[in-house]
Structure 1
Amino acid sequence: MGSHVRARRAAVALGFAGLLMAVLGAVMIVMVPSIIKQQVLKNVRIDPNSISFNMWKEIPVPFYLSVYFFDIVNPSEILQGRKPQVRERGPYVYREFRHKSNITFNDNDTVSFLEYRSYQFQPHKSRGLESDYIVMPNILVLAAALMMENGPISLKLIMTLAFSTLGERAFMNRTVSEIMWGYEDPLLHLINKYFPSMFPFKGKFGLFAELNNSNSGLFTVFTGVQNFSRIHLVDKWNGVSKVNFWHSDQCNMINGTSGQMWAPFMTPESSLEFYSPDACRSMKLVYKEEGVFEGIPTFRFVAPNTLFANGTVYPPNEGFCPCMESGIQNVSTCRFNAPLFLSHPHFYNADPVLAEAVSGLHPNPEEHSLFLDIHPVTGIPMNCSVKLQLNLYIKSVKGIGQTGKIEPVVLPLLWFGESGAMEGETLQTFYTQLVLMPKVLHYAQYVLLALGCVLLLIPVIYQIRNQGPKDAESQPGLATQPDGLPSPYTPLLQDSLRGQPTSPKA
């Protein structure tokens, strides 16, 4: 009797526990998505109390700048009107350090900051040294010549004489370090003396001289603390909400973020838009596919075919013109009027005539396309590789002897890739708090609900099993009478069950 009571109490206790688990699981199914969303919103906004704030302030991801130069093989033949021939040299790899300073929180739910960048050469990751010599177009000579194309012949002759006196030629042989970070040039000093507003360079001239130990301008972005709908979007850059480099309001608009974080809860219909001070414009990347990075689900975004398309192919880009072939963007208006163009490396995704005009170019999507892998729940980049090519339009200018008989051509100078991937302790913290914990909660709610339902069945099964014998004893016509005395039919029933003939006694 005691064991029967204990079993009944245990069944009731398990049923009660199952009820609690089932209720808790059901509540979690309703509440967990909202809780996760609130936690994500809390931790991705620009707030000193959020998990991602230190990541935003001092980017922990190791970034690398890989530079590939196009070494000119036949400079003398180019001067005679022959097709340029180049060979790719590199990569020359630099560790890129970024940190924000002058962080100021404003009353209108925005924060202003300057982001500084510095670079350190990484010999062990490079294929070559900074002391390597590269034959490159003399940008100062060829750009100045083209800028004077429509000038008076007398001024061109003076320029030719000045070039000769200073020993300037159309092509130069410089080290990687000089091309990157600057070199002394007497022509630059002369231009700054008589035309002080022509070039922004006041000391050494180098393609990356302005980037090292400098900032990318004053960004003011929305924090998302008061109004989440505009989180990370740029409010102003250097105090303006649109630039004046281009020829349409649409092209001059500063859209998207500063290129470091985006709004969370992305879908395949989302796009990545950001303002790039180096390109002097906003860019938009589009969704390509889902992926996984170190166990973290990602969305991959890539450049659309229209990113550098000309106005004929893609009318909204008409504001970036005057344009040439599709696939290159004229950036002369924001680069001291020098005939410089941006494109994908090796003229990938551009009009084929551009790559065909230069020997030694081999565009392919695996090596030359750019991508960003974003964790869609938080909008934080996990892995990225942004690749761009800098090109110079060159041609013979009548009256300036140094340009010889150069045929018009868009000549690639170099291409570079900025890459970074989350790793180490930062990756582990991110995975644990923003991926693993939400996943555990997601599965726990269904486990609790299923386990609760199973436990709820235990008292039901126990009750059914214990009702069986009682029901059998209560059936009519069995061996006992209501008063508990033996039935007169008992012998007959027993004999019948044994299969023996029976005869009632008189």
Structure 2
Amino acid sequence: MKQIMNVFGNRYNSVRTNDCDNGRFESFAANRRNLTRQFSIVDSFFHQRKEGERTRYPKYNFFLMAVGLILICLGVMSHMCNPYMLIFKWKLIFENGGEIFELWRTPPVDLYIKIFLFNVTNAEQYLEGTAEKMVFDEVGPYVYRELLSHENITFYDNGTLYTKPSHPLVFQAHLSAGHKEDDVFYLPNIALLSIAQVASKHNYLIRLPLNLLIRQTKTVPLEKQTARQFMFGYETTLTTLGNTFLPNWISFNKMYDFDNDFETFYTGVDDESLSGLYESYLGSPKLAQWEGDHCSNIRNASDGTKFKSFIKDEEQLLFFRKSMCRAQRMVQTGSNHEVDGLQATKFVFEENALDNGQIDARNKCFCRKGQCLARGLIDVTDCYYGFPIALSYPHFHDSDPSLLTKVIGLHPNESLHSSFFMINAVSGLPLKLSVKFQINMAMGDISNMAECERFANIVIPTLWFEITMLQLPRGLRNRFLFYLKYLRIFDRIMYFLLLVGGSLLLLYAVIRVALSVSLSLTSNNISRKNKKISKSERCAENRRHSLLKNNSSKLEKGSVQEREHFLT
């Protein structure tokens, strides 16, 4: 019974009394435990070092792994959340003291207006009737710098702001190629021709006193004027009388008045891409002189200071200025341009935009009171306080060819007389622009008015202007180069550095753990082998001594013959 209990009690001393056999079985059990422990990475981190084992650094490896994982997570989050774009969108929102808002309120750009006048070189001959057509000679440029600013700004809770624009002009003599504001030319008498246009539609009793007034004051349709007088107005007897006796026909006192406008713009609170775009003009998102949304809408148009941000491929934009009397649609012609190191998308005015519905039926609404002018002209009488003004492109570019048959000296050229915009599609920042329009007097049948018979049913070119910005100032350009180019590159570099750096740290930590496990296993194997060899040698020595002892005993007891045999 005792032997049975010893078996179940794992007492094997009675079975294995040999120390060498005990060592072999103990070595096998220890080897199994070591293999189980050392091939576990987690256990290699937290298993307590035994006395005599090699020193490990589990906390350092764990720290490297944690940092690597954190860097990888930050890289993935930066790619998904795009912090650069979040910050950029925040900067686009208009608020007091905001960087982009301050740039919009008072643009620090060199914006110029170049004006070219049409001098009638044969004015006397044409008035006398000896010349069949008027001969025009383009003179200029007369260059003015526009000091654009948005004044009296009030922020509203609905994501818009109220402002009154200011457009003072400062003459730039050094850019005007020797031309001076007091240069004298033969130019159209706008006051006389405007009165004649309005009065010609009334009965004889109204026309009679006006004709007497015209003859009495010896006013003629073409007269000598200085460049400044023609561009900015001057007081004459006819304009004074016209403003006194014909106040409901023509607003002579507002002939050159552009100071009473008020506008509402989006701040970008609800949509960052719309910051700086029109919400309304004079309290309405539509221009009163046109019918239908296609012709009257100015909402989301730009005044040229800032265009829509985050422009998509093939997206169209709107450009509006009071002098144009409409929002002009712009289309993309290419996005692979670069201006001063910044990516730019080129826009031009929509083809056939001034066709009055002859080609594009949507433009039929630009015909004033159902009366359509020739293709290439837009009647803006209502915007110019009753004056018979029609806009076109310079030199009647892209207009009905018949307009050129009644005058001499105009030479349309697409490269010289077309408009373009270079806009950064991300920010909506204009990098370079050139906007060109011509102001004409579109005369009807005024043959029943004194001195005006030869000016009936003709379109008289008066001047054309170019709003131009050749480049951004150096400081502004460098600022947006940093925001739109270098900062984006830095953002991409940081994204890859986070991913690559985190991956390398994680890989390094894993390699350290693997090497630590491998070296520990090798060291233990060598130690066990040495221990096994030492124990084997000890067992062999014990067996040899035991054998010698037994043999010596036999030798003493044996015969002489057996001793000799043993010694042999």
- TM-score range, shorter-chain basis? 0.7 to 0.9
| Post-superposition offset of 1:288 | 1.7
- Of structures 1 and 2, the larger Rg is shown by 2
The residue aligned with 1:440 is 490
Judging changes above 3 Å, is the alpha-carbon distance between structure 1 residues 415 and 13 closer, same or farther for their aligned structure 2 residues?
Answer: same
Judging changes above 3 Å, is the alpha-carbon distance between structure 1 residues 292 and 8 closer, same or farther for their aligned structure 2 residues?
Answer: farther
The residue aligned with 2:49 is none
The residue aligned with 1:56 is 104
Q: Does 1:400 align with 2:400?
A: no
The residue aligned with 1:122 is 172
For structure 1, which segment, 69-78 or 310-319, has the greater mean C-alpha deviation from structure 2 after superposition?
69-78
Contact 1:275 1:283 in 2 (8 A): yes
| Post-superposition offset of 1:193 | 1.8
| Post-superposition offset of 1:384 | 1.9
Contact 1:82 1:407 in 2 (8 A): no
Runs of at least 5 residues in structure 2 that lack an aligned partner in the other structure: 1-53, 523-531, 537-568
Judging changes above 3 Å, is the alpha-carbon distance between structure 1 residues 120 and 360 closer, same or farther for their aligned structure 2 residues?
Answer: same
Cα separation, 1, equivalents of 2:390 and 2:159: 37
Cα separation, 2, equivalents of 1:224 and 1:74: 55
Q: State the secondary structure of the residue aligned to 1:202.
A: helix
| Post-superposition offset of 1:293 | 1.8
| Post-superposition offset of 1:68 | 0.7
1:252 counterpart letter in structure 2: S
Cα separation, 2, equivalents of 1:347 and 1:7: 84
| Post-superposition offset of 1:200 | 2.1
Q: Root-mean-square deviation (CA), in Å? A: 3.4
Output the TM-score relative to the length of structure 2: 0.73
Q: Does 1:262 align with 2:307?
A: yes
| Post-superposition offset of 1:250 | 4.0
| Post-superposition offset of 1:335 | 2.2
The residue aligned with 2:79 is 29
Output the TM-score relative to the length of structure 1: 0.82
The residue aligned with 1:47 is 95
The residue aligned with 1:497 is none
| Post-superposition offset of 1:69 | 0.8
Judging changes above 3 Å, is the alpha-carbon distance between structure 1 residues 241 and 471 closer, same or farther for their aligned structure 2 residues?
Answer: closer
Instruction: Say which structure is richer in strand.
Output: 1
Runs of at least 5 residues in structure 1 that lack an aligned partner in the other structure: 473-481, 486-506
| Post-superposition offset of 1:146 | 2.4
The residue aligned with 1:296 is 342
For structure 1, which segment, 460-469 or 373-382, has the greater mean C-alpha deviation from structure 2 after superposition?
460-469
Q: Does 1:143 align with 2:210?
A: no
Instruction: Say which structure is richer in helix.
Output: 2
| Post-superposition offset of 1:91 | 0.7
Q: 2:147 aligns with which of 92, 97, 104?
A: 97
For structure 1, which segment, 415-424 or 447-456, has the greater mean C-alpha deviation from structure 2 after superposition?
447-456
Q: 2:358 aligns with which of 308, 312, 320?
A: 312
Q: State the secondary structure of the residue aligned to 1:401.
A: coil
2:119 counterpart letter in structure 1: D
Q: 2:268 aligns with which of 209, 214, 224?
A: 224
Aligned residues: 470
For structure 1, which segment, 183-192 or 217-226, has the greater mean C-alpha deviation from structure 2 after superposition?
217-226
Per-residue Cα deviation, 1:297-324 (whole angstroms, up to 9, x for no partner): 1222210113212122221121111222
| Post-superposition offset of 1:465 | 9.8
Q: 1:350 aligns with which of 396, 399, 408?
A: 399
Identity between Structure 1 and Structure 2 (%): 28
- Map 1:330-479 to 2 at 5 A: 330-394=379-443, 397-406=446-455, 408-420=457-469, 421-450=471-500, 452-453=502-503
Cα separation, 1, equivalents of 2:287 and 2:81: 45
1:422 counterpart letter in structure 2: L
Cα separation, 2, equivalents of 1:30 and 1:336: 55
2:330 counterpart letter in structure 1: L
- Map 1:269-288 to 2 at 5 A: 269-288=314-333
| Post-superposition offset of 1:90 | 0.7
Q: Does 1:183 align with 2:228?
A: no
Per-residue Cα deviation, 1:390-447 (whole angstroms, up to 9, x for no partner): 0112366333231243463222111111122421322222322343212310233124
| Post-superposition offset of 1:228 | 4.6
